Structure 1
Amino acid sequence: MREIEINSIEGAEILKQLKNHLSGSLKEQWGEYVLEFDSELGKGMIRSIAFDWGVSLVDYDVNFTEDIKITFNITKANPIQFIFVSEGHIEYLNNTDNKISTFERYQNIIISTKKNSKETYIFPKTVAIKVNFIYILRKEFSKRKNNNLSFLSKSLLDVFQDGDSETSYNHYGNFNLKIADQIRQLQESYESGIVRTLSIEGQLNLILAMQMLEQNNYESGMTLPESLSKSDIKKIHRLSEYIVDNISEPLSVNTLATRAGLSTKKLQLGFRVLYSKSVNEYVRQLKLEISRDYIKNSNDSISEIVYNIGFKSRSYFSKIFFERYGILPTEYRKKNKVKGQN
C-alpha cells in the first residue's frame, strides 16, 4: 500500500503535495486548481477551490492501480469536513480511536477531529471513486454575517463553536440520493469565469445545507423521503438474495415491497442507491443473466428456460435477450455448442 502524507488543509497546497507523488499537471484558472494525472499509480482528476469565510472544496475523481493511503498530519486546528462519496467507497481512520470506518456510496458523512490529529483515507485499488470534501474553518465561518449557527442541532452547533478543536465528532448518516444529485450538478458545471465561481459557491452552500438537514433529521429520528437508513439497505440486500432464489415467481414491486417491509417508494429508492436501477430493471436484468447461464450450461429447451425464469412469452424473452446481448437465444446456444466442440 502506497502512503502519501499531507501536512496542509489548504486545497491548493493539498494538490501540490499530491502532485509530488501522482505526477501529472496542475493548473489554476479562476481561482480553481485542477490536478490531472495518468501514471503508474492510476489516473484521475482532483480539483480544489476556496471561498471566503473558511469554506473550501476538494473533489476527487480517481481510479488507482494500488491501494493508496492519504494521511493528513495537521498541527493547526482541524476543519469540519462534510464528505460525500458519489461513486465507489473509501475507508477512514484517525489516531484518536484507531477504528477503520467505511464511507459508502451516497452516505452523508460529517467529521471533526481534535487538534493535532492524524487522519487517513484509504482509496482501494481498481475502484472508480468520486468523493467530495467540503472543509469549513469554524473560526472564519463564525464571522460570516447571518451565519445562523444557532439553528443547528446541538451536537453540530457544539462542533462549530469548538474553535480550538478540543473534541472530536463523527456523523455517519443516512444514504441520500438528493445530495448525490446536487453533487452531480456541481461536478458537471461547465461555466467559466465569474459565472462558474458563483455557481460553484452557490452549489456548495446548497450541498452544505442538505448535509446539515440530513444530520439534524438523523439525530431527531426522522428520515427524509429521499434518504435510506442502514437497516433499509440491509433489507434490500436480503431482498436481492430472495429475488435470486425465487426468480421464477411473480416479482411485482408491491409484492417485493411487502416482503422487504418497505414502502414501494423506499424500495425503488434503495434499488437506485445500490444498483442504479429500478426494481423492474434489476429483476429483468437478473432474469436475463440467469437465462443466459441456463442456455450456455444446461440442456433445457429455450421454452423450458423461459418458464423457469418466470417469463410467460417466449417471443418477448427473445426480443429483450437480443436487445441486451445482440444475439437471439437460439443463436447464442448454437454459438456456445460450437465452442464446446472445438
Structure 2
Amino acid sequence: MAIKATINHDSIKDIVLELSKVLGTDHDEDNNELCFDLPKKLGDGHFRAIEFDFGVGIILADFLINEKMTLTFKKEKINPLKIFLNLDAPIQFIDQEHSTKLNRLESVMVSPSTNECQNFVFNSNKPITFFYIQINRKLFESKVEQFIGDMSEDLETLLRDLNGINKFYYNGYFSLDIAELIEEFKTCELTDFMQSVFLEGKTYEVIMRYLQLYVDKNNSKNSHKLIRQSSIIKIEKAVAIIKKELDVRISVNALAKRVGLNQNTLQSGFKQLFSTSVNEYIRDQKIEYAKNLLEKSDLNITEITYKIGINSRSYFSKLFKERYSVTPKEYLLQCRKRKSKSA
C-alpha cells in the first residue's frame, strides 16, 4: 500500500515531525536537530533535520522503503525556497506545470505559487539519498541584504520575493564538488558546538555553490543540455583519475579515451557539472593540492612544483598567486609563522 504524507512546510521541524507521525515512528530532538529512523516494517534508513539561523534548514535522508511514498507540501500563504539535491536513485517531482524525473546529481530549486501543492515521489525498494535545503526568504533577508546590490538580477529577484508570491522553477545538474560537500556533512565526526558550526558552514557552502551554478547556467547558451547518466559515471571516473594522478601531466584527449568518452562530451560535462573546462579543473586541483602540501608537508617549493606535475617553478608561482593572491613562498612563510605561534 502506497504511503502518502501531506505536510505543512512552514519549517523544517514541522516537516520532520509530521513525516515521523505518518510513518508511525518516534523522533529524537537535540537543540536545533531532529532525527528518526524508518520503522523496520517499512524498510531501513534515517532522516536527519537541522534548523539554522536566518530561516535556513536542511533535511538529509538516506533510506530504502518497501512501499512507494509521496510527500506533498500543502498550499501555504508564505512559500519557502526549496533546493532538492538527489544523490541516488531517481525521484519524481510534480507540481501543476511540471513532472520531472530527478536522476542522480540532478536537482530542482522551486517555490510554488500560493495556490499550489508540490509532490516528491519516492519509489519502493530503491536506494534514496537526498539533501533538502529550505530557505524562509523573509528571515533570510537580514543575512543577504548588504550583498543584494552585488548580486545578478536573477538572483536578486529570487531572494527578494520574501513571501514567495511568484512561482519559481529551476531544474539542473549540480556539481560533484557539491556532492562531496554533502558527503563531508554526512560523515562529520565533530560534536556539540564544533559540529554545529561545521554543519552550518557546509550548508552555506552548498547554497553558495548551487546558486552560483544557477546563475552561471542561466547565462549559458547550453544550460538546458542534458547529460546521460552513463556519461556522468564516466565523468566521475575522470575526476578520480585527475585527483589520483596530480603529479602527472595528462591531456584532455588522453583522459577522455581512458574513461570512454569523446573529448567534446567530456568538456561539456565538466562545463555543466563544474562550470569550468577540464584543463581549468585539473589546474585548480593541482594548486589546491599544492596549498595543502605547503601547509602540512616538509617539502620545499621546488619539490612541491614537481609533485603536482608542473615543470616550471615560476609558472606554479603565477598560478598560485592568481588563486590565493600570495606567492607560494609568502604562503609558506605564513604557515611557518602560524606553526611557531601554536608551538
**TM bracket, shorter-chain basis:** 0.5 to 0.7
* Higher mean C-alpha displacement, 151-160 vs 181-190: 151-160
Match of 1:11 in 2: 12
Give the 3-state SS of the residue equivalent to 1:83 in structure 2: strand
Change (3 A) 1:263 1:145: closer
Pairing of 1:1-342 with structure 2 (within 5 A): 1-94=2-95, 96-97=96-97, 99-144=98-143, 147-221=146-220, 230-233=225-228, 236=231, 254-255=256-257, 260-262=262-264
Deviation at 1:75, TM superposition (A): 1.9
Deviation at 1:167, TM superposition (A): 1.4
Change (3 A) 1:173 1:153: farther
* Distance in 2 separating the partners of 1:147 and 1:197: 25
- State whether residues 24 and 38 of structure 1, in contact with CA within 8 Å, keep that contact through their aligned partners in structure 2: yes
Match of 1:291 in 2: none
Give the 3-state SS of the residue equivalent to 2:87 in structure 1: strand
Unaligned stretches of 5+ in structure 2?
A: 235-253, 273-343
* Distance in 1 separating the partners of 2:20 and 2:136: 24
Higher strand share: 1
* Distance in 2 separating the partners of 1:174 and 1:70: 22
- State whether residues 32 and 49 of structure 1, in contact with CA within 8 Å, keep that contact through their aligned partners in structure 2: yes
Give the 3-state SS of the residue equivalent to 1:61 in structure 2: strand
Give the 3-state SS of the residue equivalent to 1:25 in structure 2: coil
1:66-101: per-residue Cα shift (whole Å, max 9, x none)?
A: 11001111423110112211122211112x32x311
Change (3 A) 1:235 1:262: farther
Deviation at 1:268, TM superposition (A): 9.1
- State whether residues 25 and 37 of structure 1, in contact with CA within 8 Å, keep that contact through their aligned partners in structure 2: no
Give the ranges of 4+ consecutive aligned residues of structure 1 lying more than 4 Å apart after TM superposition: 252-259, 263-270
Deviation at 1:14, TM superposition (A): 1.4
Please tell me the root mean square deviation across aligned C-alpha atoms, in Å. Answer: 3.2
* Distance in 1 separating the partners of 2:23 and 2:261: 48
Deviation at 1:219, TM superposition (A): 0.8
* Distance in 2 separating the partners of 1:36 and 1:234: 30
1:156-197: per-residue Cα shift (whole Å, max 9, x none)?
A: 321211223221111112341111111111111221111111
1:265-321: per-residue Cα shift (whole Å, max 9, x none)?
A: 667999xxxxxxxxxxxxxxxxxxxxxxxxxxxxxxxxxxxxxxxxxxxxxxxxxxx
- State whether residues 231 and 261 of structure 2, in contact with CA within 8 Å, keep that contact through their aligned partners in structure 1: no
TM-score, structure 1 as length reference: 0.66
Larger Rg: 1
Percent sequence identity over aligned pairs: 18
* Distance in 2 separating the partners of 1:259 and 1:58: 35
* Distance in 1 separating the partners of 2:18 and 2:230: 42
* Distance in 1 separating the partners of 2:65 and 2:259: 38
- State whether residues 181 and 206 of structure 2, in contact with CA within 8 Å, keep that contact through their aligned partners in structure 1: yes
* Distance in 2 separating the partners of 1:34 and 1:234: 31
Unaligned stretches of 5+ in structure 1?
A: 240-251, 271-342
Change (3 A) 1:206 1:42: same
Deviation at 1:259, TM superposition (A): 6.5
* Distance in 1 separating the partners of 2:159 and 2:36: 30
Deviation at 1:9, TM superposition (A): 2.9
Change (3 A) 1:186 1:127: same
State the one-letter code of the partner of 2:87: S
Give the 3-state SS of the residue equivalent to 2:190 in structure 1: coil
Change (3 A) 1:266 1:5: same
* Distance in 2 separating the partners of 1:162 and 1:50: 21
Give the 3-state SS of the residue equivalent to 2:180 in structure 1: helix
Change (3 A) 1:229 1:260: farther
